[in-house]
Amino acid sequence: MTDAPTSLGERAAELRSKFDRAFAAPPRIDAASKHDLIAIRMNARPFALRVAEVSGLFVDRKVTRVPGAAAALLGIAGFRGALVPVYDLQALFGHSTGQTPRWLVVAAAAPVALAFDTFEAHLRALADSILRRQAQDRACGFAPEFIRAGDVIRPIIHLPSVVEALGTTELSQAAPTQE
């Protein structure tokens, strides 16, 4: 048998003491580093984005087309009072698209929005479950890591690389400029 308190007052005092001790103890630090990811799909293919590289996630945002734009540039959209160029993430990966993607993420690295088909879920992964890719093609340049989430392998798109590629190619010349 355990030494259970015999009265309600003793039980309350014990719970109060445990509660106070919990705040007096040093905070527990989770030894395993965790990464938050957004699970997405483009052309039915699974991908992931790091939440730390995203400043916003939006659905069904109106995108205004701009004349003479590069194929990947869908247009511009307003986010929190600023006009931002919206690029089709699938087109940047070299895949042709037939329809306008529904979802947009705004990159944290620069005022650029990237469109994709489907938002699936929020994922939290241990750092050691994220693996580096070995192959070096265009898609791997934008997604040098991958994660297995359940039975699905998802390349993790590195948004700063995508934004950098937009700034160093002719795609950026079609983007609207602020004056």
Domain 34-174 has CATH 2.40.110.10: no
Give me the pLDDT at residue 61, please: 92
Q: Say which residues have a Cβ less than 8 Å from residue 105's Cβ, sequence separation at least 6.
A: 38, 49, 54, 56, 57, 58, 113, 114, 116, 159
Give me the pLDDT at residue 33, please: 81
Encode pLDDT of 102-120 as tens digits. Answer: 999 999 989 999 999 999 9
State pTM to two decimals: 0.71
Residues 72, 116: Cα–Cα separation, whole Å = 12
Find the range with the poorest average confidence among 6-10, 82-86, 100-104, 127-131: 127-131
**Strand locations in the chain, DSSP E?**
34-42, 45-50, 54-59, 73-79, 82-88, 103-107, 113-116, 118-126, 130-132, 145-149, 152-157
Encode pLDDT of 20-74 as tens digits. Answer: 888 887 776 655 688 899 999 998 899 999 999 999 999 999 999 988 767 788 9
Residues 137, 106: Cα–Cα separation, whole Å = 25
